[in-house]
Structure 1
Amino acid sequence: MSSFKVSSDSLRSTIQWGAVLIVAIMPFHAFLSVWLGSLFGHQAAWQSWKELLTLILVSLTVWYVYKNPGVLQRWRQPLWYAVAGFVAIATLVTLAAWPGATAAVFGAKTDLEPLVVAAIAAVVADPKLVQRLVKVLLATSAIVVTLALLQVYILPKEFLSGFGYSSSTITPYMLVDPALPAIRAFATLGGALQLGSFLLLPLALVAALMIRQFRWWQPIMLLATGMALWHTHSRAAWIGAIVAIGVIVILRLPSRWRLPSALIGIVTAAIGLNILISLSSSSSTLQYYLFHGSIKATGYQTSTELHGLAIQTGQQELLRQPLGQGLGTAGPASYHTDRPLIPESQYLQIGIETGFVGLALFLIIQIILALQLLKRHEHSPLATALVSSLAGIAVLNLALHGWADSSTALVYWAMAGAYIGAES
């Protein structure tokens, strides 16, 4: 009996360390894939390490659950029922529409893998794992933020060329616009937009920790993270950060003040945005920062105009096939098909892939998670950080594919799954 117990504990510990490994390495996934690919070739193989690890963790989790059927109780919750429903609908729609094996595989990797990792983390989690994940996230985020600021202020533009970055992998530097010399930070992530979405969770976590129990390093890291996020020049990430910090502030207020404060914040933000747009008409520099292009007639479409056209196209595709076209038919995964479709919205991507039913389940998953986190926010800075960053990413996803970035998605859902599981 004792040998069985030791074997079961060792299995659980191994799975836990797999979750830690995901949170530790994913912030550097893009950098390591490009660098190791340039040194040894086979970049796609290096990129697939996380899928291989996930498959191993799935196998170990099946064995762990078989040995300990009582842990299934952790999955008997509305959140995991909704996750199972979404996975089932996505699978059925994909099999019915069949966009092709390549699209299906890359689509599953993008849409389903983070949820699988969350479920795995939930079934093996304990408070010690959650504490370990928090420490790892803070440490890796500090490294990423430092590199982002070095990239903007100190390192030469072509620095990353020495690590295999190029036009055929990831460009070694990014500009807001060719008309401006401003560098867009992306550190070790796949791009500036990816860094912006990734930083929302560590930004919220440091803010929540600082409010709960002040430490000298927290304001330094909060300021540095905010600066790094600013230098991504991702407008959606800026708004997401404002939403995340706003949620943290509102949750600290007495209940009777929360709704009025939220309304005041929304009105203030709307007025501020209108003022900025008005000022931009007389400032070409501000135009480039706000619209990533000039609002004067140039014969070229600005980034904002292209975003609008992409969203319109995505809406038409969703209405054309409301039952869904299958995993991998929209979003970054569709680059691996002969008909790429980037609707510039996570919600449109999910709707196009899995239909209105899948989109509804996708939203339900996040609503249930948010409600569970809100119940615990008064006792846990991590719960506060998770729910506030979820709100920020939810807003960001209106204009970006936030969850399609594997670093953002896997880190967030591993943390969320572990926290929910440990509290079960």
Structure 2
Amino acid sequence: MNTLAWRVIKWAFIVVLVGMAIHTPVTVFVESRWPDYELLAKSWKEIVLGGVLLLLVWQAWRAGKLSELLRDKFVIVTALIAALHVVLLLAFDNSYVSELAGLLIDLRYYLLFVELYVAARLMPGLRRPMLMAAAVGCAVVIGFGVLQATILPKDILSPLGYSNETIKPYLTVDLNDHYIRINSTLRGPNPVGAFAVLTLSLLLAWTAARRIALRGMWQRIVWAGGALGSVIVLYASQSRSAWLALVAAAGALLVGILPKRTALYSVAGLAVVGALLVGGLFALRDNPTISHLFFHSNPAGGSPEKSDQGHWTSLQHGVEAAANAPAGEGIGSTGSASLLSHSPVIIENQYLFMAHESGWLGVVLQLLLFGLVLIGLWCGRRDWLLLGLFAGGVGLALIGLLLPVWVDDTVSLYWWGLAGLALGSSAMIKPYGQHKKRTRHQKAKRTT
């Protein structure tokens, strides 16, 4: 498997995982200075993944594994999702540019998932370099986020082209400059918070698996630095959905690690504490600090429409659109892709976002794939990577109720890509072509 084609595939994955950590600053820089190359700068990763797909198909065909791959449940469901999107492109007459952008946004993380899944099954030893590449990317995002939250000026990203016309260098809580929300190297505070939840889930799962082996000084330094940095970034993002997601991810980790009875009591206790905390926050909502942090409302003024009102309005519109259009409104009809058309629509719910783009059938297929992936991760939870991704997936699924979490390319590519890698390289799943041999037990001949 150490052929030139496989080396190209491996390095292409590394470039994507590391490159996504700085993707947003680079694209903003290009967009602000050379707008004619904006589309190319934003779609470089999709171009790379398209080339990887061709190489993978070729390598699978040469190895005689292509027919077996085409019968795999993950490959089949992913192919059905892609086929539905192609049909919808033909069925609806939306703006060409918005359709292209929507197609890339909707399918890129599924493409990376199935590519890393197949590559890990066909290429032993892929897991370690991919995890190292992901660790480098996480270090960049979390490390810069910590600096942005502590010592760097709040508008440090402005010289790169961050502005009201591209991406704001930072946000505030309801127009209050005393409550800064950082972007790090992602597209906004909410994606940064979601990314921190994923990082913390993996670190906690890694610690649980290596709690005895984690005795070396450097291991402790790396873990403590990563965990502390992720907590700082999570707080500085001021993302309430990410805070809730961390609680959900922690509960999923407890269920995966502890014995059933202990896990049940722990989750029940976590729910009780959470309910008491929510009740206390509502009782103290007139406190300025509580109002800013947990309700994103500035008692001294702020924006005319508060954050919670915007979420509620978007939810109502999304439900109404999904009910009135069972087949959806077509690819590129909502989100950032729709901003390229004459009728932009913003829906702040991942599942209603799917329904608006691909209809009820699209939602069913995508939730089916997501469910299959979570089940696969749960079944392999003795592996820390699968456990961490399962917990992180639970948290990100919760964020999806409040925000289109998969629209952010870094968050979606990291979770789905690592999930494909984990499932493909899991020791609980036999490599392609290796089947359990049946043995026949012949009856001993009776001797007389």
**TM-score strictly above 0.5:** yes
Which has the higher Rg, Structure 1 or Structure 2?
2
Counterparts of 2:358 and 2:81, CA distance in 1? 9
Question: Which residue among 270, 280, 305 is the counterpart of 1:275?
Answer: 280
CA contact (8 A) 1:72 1:123 kept: no
Q: Mark the CA change 1:361 to 1:284 in structure 2 (over 3 Å): closer, same or farther.
A: same
Q: 1:147 & 1:314 partners in 2: Cα distance?
A: 35
Match for 2:104: what amino acid? K
The answer as to 2:74 corresponding to 1:79 is: yes
1:417 offset after TM fit, Å?
A: 1.3
Alpha carbons 2:240, 2:294 under 8 Å: kept: yes
Tell me what 2:188 maps to.
191
- Is this contact kept in 2: 1:386–1:416, CA < 8 A? yes
**Which residue pairs with 2:339 in the alignment?**
335
Give me the TM-score of the superposition, normalised by structure 1: 0.92
1:52 to 30, 41, 47: 47
* Residue number among 394, 403, 406 corresponding to 1:403 in the alignment: 406
Please give the TM-score of this superposition, normalised by the length of structure 2.
0.87
CA distance in 2, matches of 1:365, 1:96: 24
What SS does the corresponding residue of 1:367 show, helix, strand or coil?
helix
C-alpha RMSD of matched pairs (Å):
2.1
Equivalent residue, structure 2, for 1:14: 8
1:138-183 Cα deviation digits (max 9, x unpaired): 2221222121121121111222122222222222222223234122
The answer to which of 91-100 and 267-276 deviates more is 91-100
- 1:87-236 matched pairs, under 5 angstroms: 87-125=82-120, 126-213=123-210, 214=214, 215-216=219-220, 217-236=222-241
Structure 2 counterpart SS, 1:231: helix
8 Å CA contact 2:109–2:412 kept in 1: the answer is: yes
Q: Whole-Å Cα distance in 2 between the matches of residues 200 and 16 of structure 1?
A: 27
Letter in 2 for 1:307: H
1:286–1:80 Cα change, 3 Å: same
1:18 and 1:298 map into 2 onto residues whose CA distance is 46
Q: Look up the SS of the partner of 1:183 in the other structure.
A: strand
User: Structure 1 91/285 Cα, relative in aligned 2: closer, same or farther at 3 Å?
Assistant: same
The secondary structure found in structure 2 opposite 1:175 is strand
Query: Moved runs in structure 1, 4+ residues, more than 6 A?
Result: 295-299
Range 346-355 or range 266-275, more displaced: 266-275
Shift of 1:404: 0.4
- For residues 206 and 96 of structure 1, do their structure 2 counterparts lie closer, same or farther at Cα, with a shift above 3 Å needed? same
What amino acid is the match of 1:230?
Y
Distance 1:135 1:75, change over 3 A: farther
Letter in 2 for 1:14: V
Aligned residues with identical type, % of pairs: 27
Paired residues of 2:205 and 2:385 also in contact (CA < 8 A): yes
Shift in alpha-carbon separation, 1:45–1:375, aligned structure 2, 3 A: same
Q: Cα–Cα, structure 1 residues 38 and 352, in superposed 2: closer, same or farther, change >3 Å?
A: closer
Cα 1:298–1:178, aligned 2, differ >3 Å: closer, same or farther? closer
Does the CA-based 8 Å contact 2:254-2:266 persist in structure 1?
A: no
Aligned counterparts of 1:351 and 1:295: Cα–Cα separation in 2: 36
Deviates more, 1:10-19 or 1:85-94: 85-94
Structure 2 equivalent of residue 394 of structure 1: 397
Higher relative contact order (CA 8 A, sep 6+): 1
Say which SS state the counterpart of residue 182 (structure 1) adopts. Answer: strand
Once the two structures are overlaid, the 10-residue window that deviates more, 40-49 or 412-421, is 40-49
The structure with the largest helix share of the pair is: 1
| CA drift at 1:12 | 2.1
Contact 2:174/2:303, CA 8 A, preserved across alignment: no
Q: Which segment is superposed worse, 301-310 or 50-59? A: 50-59
Amino acid at match of 1:219: A
| Kept after mapping to 2: 8 A contact 1:206/1:222 | yes
Larger mean Cα displacement after TM superposition, 178-187 or 294-303: 294-303
For the residue of structure 2 that corresponds to 1:115, the secondary structure is: helix
Does the 8 Å CA contact 1:74/1:122 hold for their aligned counterparts?
Answer: no
The letter of the residue matching 1:337 is: S
